[in-house]
Amino acid sequence: MEIIYTLNKLTEKLSQLRRKGLIGFVPTMGALHQGHISLVQRAASENDTVVVSIFVNPTQFNDKKDLERYPRNLEADIKLLSDQGCHVVFAPRVDEVYPEPDTRIFDFGHMDKVMEGKFRPGHFNGVAQVVSRLFDMVKPDRAYFGLKDFQQLAIIQNMVQQLQLPVEIVPCPIIREPNGLAMSSRNELLSCEERENAAEIFNMLSHAGEWSNSKSVHEVEKSIASGINRNPYLETEYVEIVDADTLEMVTDWQQPGRKVVCVAVWCGKVRLIDNYLIG
């Protein structure tokens, strides 16, 4: 496994590896956990070369304090990746990814205005900037993203279509801790008590399928929110049931297509997101 910090070195290395076959890519912001490792292992099983990027992207943080608090431990990340089938770790500096300010504005219609987009304005434009830039640098055949960031995945798929990028986006299942909490780099910021109580998020989400048989869409949203908020450690920011493909709001269970319940919950000073697919 080789650690690379510059685009020139990355281009040189990948020009050699590309001759061996397909390149799988896992973009990350570091603070790696088993959720990330599952993406790397999937990429290793389907490609000849695996590249993992570790880059905390400043353009997707609308809160500078959140950017400062985001966990970083490159040494631990490299150690975790060392025997997982990763061939190249790309850990660039900010000026390597953005030699000039990225002023591009993407148009995702309503997709970046709801849920995360409503509470984190500009976030998804920053995501599109960095992911498209990394795709241009790595030029992967396939890229792997976890379904925990459901809205992000939908927007990246939309961006790939808009820019007609020659990369296959591979969605991968959510990896959960034994208590059901979705694995996230932000979990490192939780205290032991907070981590234990945050399990209530998935516990309430998991009732959604059953409740959909007897309650309206609005009633299910309300039941999930009130159930989470009963826990003194948790405060719901939103609960939204949307179309899994378009992110359009669902108002009736009879609407065609898969539905997904998406939530954002504050646990102390840490903001957690999760989702649950219905049908």
- CB contact set of 87 (below 8 Å; sequence gap of 6+): 1, 2, 17, 49, 50, 51
Q: Is 163 exposed, middle or buried (0-12, 13-18, 19+ CB in 10 A)?
A: middle
* Gap between the Cα atoms of 205 and 248, Å rounded: 19
With contact defined as beta carbons under 8 Å apart, do 190 and 200 qualify? no
Return the amino acid letter for 50.
V
Closest alpha carbon to 278 in 260, 265, 263, 266:
260
* Gap between the Cα atoms of 26 and 231, Å rounded: 35
H-state helical runs in 3-87? 7-17, 34-46, 64-69, 74-81
Q: Is 36 among the catalytic positions? A: yes
Return the amino acid letter for 128.
A
The active-site residue, picked from 33, 36, 123, 218, is 36
Strand bridging mode 88-90 / 2-4: parallel
Closest alpha carbon to 261 in 279, 278, 273, 245:
278
* Gap between the Cα atoms of 98 and 57, Å rounded: 10
Active site residues: 36
